[in-house]
Structure 1
Amino acid sequence: MAGAVPTEPRLRADARRNSEQIRAAAIGAFQGRGLTVPLEEVAKAAGVSKATVFNRFGGRIGLIEAVIEEVVARELLAVIDHTRTIEDVGERTAYYLTAIRDLQYRQPAVNDVLLQTYPNSRQLMEICRAGSEANDELIAAGHASDVLRPEFTAGDLQALVVDNALALKHGERPPRDDYDRRTTYLLDGIRGRPSASGGR
Structure 2
Amino acid sequence: MAGAVPAGPRLRADARRNSEQIRSAAIGAFQGQGLTVPLEEVAKAAGVSKATIFNRFGGRVGLIEAVIEEVVARELFALVDRTRTVDDAGERIAYYLTAIRDLQYRQPAFNDVLLQTYPHSGQLMEICRVGSVANEEFVEAARAGGALRPEFTAGDLHALVLDNALALKHGERPSREDYDRRTGYLLDGIRGRSSGAL
Q: Return the TM-score normalized by structure 2.
A: 0.96
Instruction: After TM superposition, list the pairs within 5 Å mapping 1:63-102 onto structure 2.
Output: 63-102=63-102
Amino acid at match of 1:154: A
Q: Which runs of 4+ in 1 moved over 6 A?
A: none
Instruction: After TM superposition, list the pairs within 5 Å mapping 1:9-158 onto structure 2.
Output: 9-158=9-158
Shift of 1:6: 2.0
- 2:141 and 2:45 map into 1 onto residues whose CA distance is 46
- 2:139 and 2:174 map into 1 onto residues whose CA distance is 28
- 1:131 and 1:91 map into 2 onto residues whose CA distance is 18
Shift of 1:143: 1.2
Shift of 1:2: 4.2
SS of the residue corresponding to residue 152 of structure 1 reads coil
SS of the residue corresponding to residue 26 of structure 2 reads helix
Percent identity (aligned): 83
Structure 2 unaligned residues grouped into runs of 5+? none
- 2:109 and 2:96 map into 1 onto residues whose CA distance is 18
Matched residue, 2:167:
167
- 2:3 and 2:52 map into 1 onto residues whose CA distance is 26
Amino acid at match of 1:82: R
Structure 1 unaligned residues grouped into runs of 5+? 196-200
Is the CA contact 2:27–2:71 (under 8 Å) kept in the aligned structure 1? Answer: yes
- Count of paired positions: 195
- 2:100 and 2:194 map into 1 onto residues whose CA distance is 26
